[in-house]
Amino acid sequence: MFRIILIVLFAFFTIESTAQINFKKLKDRVKKAVEEEVDPQELANKDDRMAKIREDQLVKDTSFYNYIFSQGNRASFFANRDSKENLLVTFAKNYEDEDTAPVELEVYEKVFDLNRTAEFSIYIHPEAAIANFNDALGLMMDDVPSFVQVFTIEDLVNMDTMNIAERYALGKTIANISILIHAEGDYKLSEKYIEETIRYFKEIIGENTVALASLYCNHATISQAQGRYTEAEDYFDKAEEVIKKNDRVGSLSHALILNNKALLFNEIGQYDKALETIDQAIRYAEGALREKGRDNVSFQINKGLIQYSAGSYVEAERVFREIIELKRKRLASNQTDVGNVKNYLAAVLMEQGKPGEVLELLAHSLDIFRKKYSESHPAYIKTKHNKGRYHLTSGSLDEAQRIIGEVSKSYLQIFNEYHPDYLSSLEDLAVIFWKKGDFAKAKVNFEKVLNTNLELVEKYFGAMSEYEKSQYWAKVRPSILKFYAFASERGKEDPSLLTDMYNLHLKTKGILLSASSKVREEILNSNDESLKNLYTDWVDAKEKLLLYYSYSKEQLKDSKIDLNSAEEKANQLEKELNRRSASFAASNKLPTTTLAEVKSNLGADDAAIEIIGYPVFDRSFKKEKKYAFLIADLKSIHPRIVEIKNGEDLEGKYAKAYLNMVKAKLQDRISYDKYWKPVDEALVGFKNIHLSLDGIYFQLNIGALKRPDGTFVSDNLDLHLYTSTRDLVKEKHTGFSSKNVSLIGYPDFGNKGLLSPLPGTKAELEAISEMTRSKGFNTKAFMQKQATEENFKSIHSPALLHVATHGFFLPESQASGEKVFGVNVSQAKENPLLRSGLMLANAEQTMQGDDQSVEVKSTNNGVLTAYEVITLDLKNTDLVVLSACETGLGEIKSGEGVYGLQRAFQVAGAESVIMSLWKVSDEATMQLMTNFYKEWMGGKPKEVAFFAAQKKLRESFPEPYYWGAFVMLN
């Protein structure tokens, strides 16, 4: 992702005073000259006397700028000194009166001066920065350490001989060296430097020194660069806390922190928060920076990048063009930030389908990076990669192949075969070979990319939080979607591709919402301290490996990192964890089930179908979407494929029409043709259809679709629904796992009238209770005031869990206000599992937001979210019945399923879930459930019992609205 990080260069602050205000005005005047920097290359090409005068003035102003910064810092160390204000006024007079001799700088002041000079050089001349930092350290110590050395700061010098100002100066230098190392791409070493500096300042300078704000912000940036987003946000929050403690809210330092925090939100896809935060940063910076000064331009560039990420291409284009024009007017068109902005603008134009200027923009960017760096520098190679992508998307495939082929070799020389940039180049080459008709090479490249990505996923997923998984998977999934497009297009000519497609979907379907988070919680909440420590060590080892794979070979060598040893350490830790925790071993591996194993569980009249939704791809992803039905049976070696191409209509207008006609009990003459007819025609001769749903197909009952001849799909096909057909391979058991049954429902919501009572659920639960007890089950029923969230969470692995209450799912667009059912609205927007749940006793207090209620402030607030359901212990539960309205709803994630109650109960361990797709009458629900339990308790398998109950209900209620509302998902 494109971004400009404003690393917070170490700042010191003085107490506000009249003299300080004058000093700031003076500083702003000098800063103006520095910000209007003249590009040396352009200046050399101009025979302009005024330009030469301006260059001379720049040298003078830059010197005074550094000088005044150092003297200003001097004042801050002596806050109780009576002459402080006079000192500042004297400095101001010195600047205006050139005949006045400057004050001789002390050692620490010279260190500040060298740091300031080095700071300007970090991103444009790192060798000069290194020289200045070395000179700064040389003023304070005899033996200057190597930048790759890890040390304790107090060991470098004799602290007893240093005053407070010199201690600050030393810490400032080490902190800025960390920034230089970060700029060079060695994030791990940079992190060690910044952590050491934080420790040093807290112990030597003070726990609440404002300098810690800059250090925390820099640590956040380093964590973000390594993909540790939650940790990064924590450090940004720490930085802001220091700002608040020191009364610096709204300062330039605060603005810099917010700028970087906005980039974090942008990187993790929270574009609204990113724009809100960058706008706040810009407002805070207005008073401290010139409107068109270089630092303020960096803020504007970042806003443009956020707008680009959010799809606001017109606004992003406007910002980038304004910056390019501003730089042109200032004779600064050859600076590296201009190279970056032109690269960004090229990307924006390509997204808008306006390729006219793209090559010219990329050519200038390449020229800048060639002159400022070299053709082997990552910035040059990545820009060259973008040029190759331009040729790919525009159809110049030979040129694209030449350029990206060179780029791929360069990446491999700099990085390794696991680096994302290298894999990206292989993926682009796969697409080029595909579109050029060289299908064999395309297949080989896709296989390399997919196998490597899945290897990395398996290595790292177990050590990631659910949030981190989703971010990592978002980077991997486009490769899979491209392969799906390739395989479906070529499947008839090369059926083996359809087998590969089926196997890939078996391995990756529902990969995010897994049981690994639950296993992690079990380990960390256990009483086994050695197991917890072992798990923590394993997570640390995995994080280091993930970082090391992003290093170049030179970085590994310079940092003295043995990659093989690091891998071996992580492997040994994992082996020990696997030995000590069987659940850990199972949860951290990708599924290994294959098509061959699925077919081995099919009968002669059975078919297994994986539904796969994916976007159309033709050198780039399009807005159009397809649904592929991969049909496996014993009659064919490879799956057959049926495609329905208007996926966007299926998810839009046809989905609305389907639901409206069902609810209005109208004859539906559309849905069968649109959603199922081509598949139905391919299933002639089959009876049992084992169907893995995806996308919009989770939101309709296929069995209740009516054919033109008046029959329903379920009349001649038994549809067995799964989240993945790999579940066919799991060991099956007959009967019941135990004799325990738990019933919960008919809650006392409160007396505020916000939720309608459900008298029908009382009769429903009483009937089921009587029936199960008569069959010898140990039945516990929680109703009215006993139907609490706390009692729900106390339920452990019954054979049957029956829930009868109100269910809910709130789309993201409807999440507003401060809280959503007791959950902070920003968190609810980000996580659909927090917008789906069940209403239990006392739920109305939470709905009203009664802050005085103890229950509202606890996790047992009467609203059981799907997020909380995941933590339940249902590992031996045969069936969960959600006899509540719309419990099958949730946020559809292609390739993942529905993020809602039904998926949450499955992750909690339930073997099967019965759920509803729309609201239905109490009477029909009562009949369906009563008939189902009679059949099931009578000895029929639960799926057979469910089909029989539906058919029985059709006799009394023939409309699909009644009998088609509930589905069973295995």
- Summarize the chain as % helix, strand, coil (round to 5): 60, 10, 30
DSSP state letters, 246-302: TT-TTSHHHHHHHHHHHHHHHHTT-HHHHHHHHHHHHHHHHTTS-TTSHHHHHHHHH
Domain ranges of the chain: 291-363, 595-729, 740-969
Q: Confidence band (pLDDT; 50, 70, 90) for 233?
A: confident
Which residue spans within 677-777 are E strands per DSSP?
A: 688-692, 718-722, 740-747
* The predicted structure's pLDDT at residue 324: 85
Residues 6+ apart with CB under 8 A from 463: 538, 539, 542, 543
Two structure tokens written together for 807: 């269910």
Computed from CA positions of residues 705, 706, 708, 711, in that sequence, does the dihedral angle turn out positive or negative? Answer: positive
Computed from CA positions of residues 446, 449, 454, 457, in that sequence, does the dihedral angle turn out positive or negative? Answer: negative
Phi/psi of residue 550, nearest 5 degrees: -90, -5
User: Average pLDDT of the chain?
Assistant: 74
pLDDT greater than 70 at residue 146: no
* The predicted structure's pLDDT at residue 522: 67
Query: H or E segment at 643?
Result: strand 640-644
DSSP, collapsed to helix, strand or coil, labels residue 436 as: helix
Distance CA 839, CA 808 (A): 8
Q: Confidence band (pLDDT; 50, 70, 90) for 639?
A: very high
Per-residue buried b or exposed e for 752-771, using 16+ beta carbons within 10 Å of the residue's own CB: eeebeebebbeebbeebbeb
Of 278-292, 413-427, 853-867, where does mean pLDDT reach its minimum? Answer: 853-867
Give residue for tokens 């507003």. Answer: 816
Two structure tokens written together for 45: 């090409």
Give residue for tokens 């490996």. Answer: 545
Q: Which residues are 706's β-sheet partners?
A: 712
CATH architecture type of domain 740-969: 3-Layer(aba) Sandwich (3.40)
User: Looking at residues 857-866, what average pLDDT do you find?
Assistant: 66
Two structure tokens written together for 941: 């398998």
End-to-end CA distance of the chain: 39
Of 183-192, 348-357, 674-683, where does mean pLDDT reach its minimum? Answer: 183-192
Higher pLDDT, 369 or 813: 369
Burial of 79 (0-12, 13-18, 19+ CB in 10 A): exposed
Of 201-215, 775-789, 953-967, where does mean pLDDT reach its minimum? Answer: 201-215
Residues composing the chain? 970
Distance CA 781, CA 64 (A): 81
Q: Confidence band (pLDDT; 50, 70, 90) for 47?
A: very low
DSSP, collapsed to helix, strand or coil, labels residue 804 as: strand
DSSP state letters, 155-185: GTS-GGG--HHHHHHHHHHHHHHHHHHHHTT
Question: Which amino acid type is present at position 279?
Answer: D
Question: Which amino acid type is present at position 772?
Answer: T
* The predicted structure's pLDDT at residue 26: 40
Distance CA 794, CA 929 (A): 24
Two structure tokens written together for 573: 């830790």
Rounded to 10 degrees, the C-alpha dihedral 659/662/666/669 comes to 70
Two structure tokens written together for 478: 């486009």
* The predicted structure's pLDDT at residue 464: 58
Distance CA 273, CA 299 (A): 16
Residue pair 279/303 in contact (Cβ under 8 Å)? The answer is yes
Distance CA 728, CA 506 (A): 11
Distance CA 431, CA 884 (A): 47
Question: Which amino acid type is present at position 750?
Answer: G
Per-residue pLDDT of 689-733, as tens digits, reads 998 888 888 888 888 888 999 898 888 888 888 888 888 887 776
* The predicted structure's pLDDT at residue 488: 92
Query: H or E segment at 134?
Result: helix 126-138
State the DSSP code for 776.
T
Distance CA 787, CA 806 (A): 12
Two structure tokens written together for 926: 């009562």
pLDDT greater than 90 at residue 597: yes
pLDDT greater than 60 at residue 834: yes
Two structure tokens written together for 552: 């170049």
CA-nearest of 336, 409, 421, 405 to 376 is 409
CA-nearest of 340, 316, 338 to 326 is 338
Higher pLDDT, 73 or 297: 297
HEC readout, 548-579: HCCCCHHHHHHCCCCHHHHHHHHHHHHHHHHH
Burial of 161 (0-12, 13-18, 19+ CB in 10 A): exposed
Distance CA 333, CA 16 (A): 38
* Sheet strands side by side (includes 606-617): 640-644, 621-632, 606-617, 688-692, 718-722, 966-969, 912-916, 879-882, 800-804, 740-747, 778-784
User: Looking at residues 668-694, what average pLDDT do you find?
Assistant: 89
Question: Which amino acid type is present at position 738?
Answer: S
Two structure tokens written together for 210: 């404002």
Residue pair 217/256 in contact (Cβ under 8 Å)? The answer is yes
pLDDT greater than 50 at residue 225: yes
CA-nearest of 183, 224, 14 to 239 is 224
pLDDT greater than 70 at residue 317: yes
Computed from CA positions of residues 574, 577, 582, 587, in that sequence, does the dihedral angle turn out positive or negative? Answer: negative
The CATH number corresponding to 291-363 among 1.10.760, 1.25.40, 2.60.120, 1.10.150 equals 1.25.40
DSSP state letters, 879-917: EEEE-STTTT-EEEETTTEEEEHHHHHHHTT-SEEEEES
Displacement of CA 626 from its chain's centroid (Å) = 25
Two structure tokens written together for 195: 């952590």
* The predicted structure's pLDDT at residue 460: 65
Distance CA 897, CA 891 (A): 8
Residue pair 482/427 in contact (Cβ under 8 Å)? The answer is yes
Of 75-84, 623-632, 680-689, 852-861, where does mean pLDDT reach its minimum? Answer: 75-84
Higher pLDDT, 371 or 157: 371
- Answering whether pTM is above 0.85, one says no
Q: Confidence band (pLDDT; 50, 70, 90) for 33?
A: very low
pLDDT greater than 60 at residue 558: yes
Query: H or E segment at 234?
Result: helix 229-245
Q: Confidence band (pLDDT; 50, 70, 90) for 121?
A: low
Residues 6+ apart with CB under 8 A from 777: 739, 740, 741, 799, 800
Could you give the C-alpha distances from 521 to 101, 378, 473, 510, 870, in angstroms and in order? 67, 40, 21, 20, 11
HEC readout, 608-627: EEEEEEEEEECCCEEEEEEE
CA-nearest of 45, 47, 170 to 107 is 170
* The predicted structure's pLDDT at residue 486: 94
CB atoms within 10 A of CB 93: 11
Two structure tokens written together for 818: 């401060």
Query: H or E segment at 782?
Result: strand 778-784
* The predicted structure's pLDDT at residue 148: 54
* The predicted structure's pLDDT at residue 248: 82
Two structure tokens written together for 339: 């190279």
pLDDT greater than 80 at residue 637: yes
Give residue for tokens 């000590």. Answer: 580
* The predicted structure's pLDDT at residue 913: 84
Residue pair 812/829 in contact (Cβ under 8 Å)? The answer is yes
Per-residue pLDDT of 248-298, as tens digits, reads 888 877 888 888 888 888 776 677 888 889 888 888 877 665 554 555 677
Give residue for tokens 């659940």. Answer: 583
DSSP, collapsed to helix, strand or coil, labels residue 351 as: helix
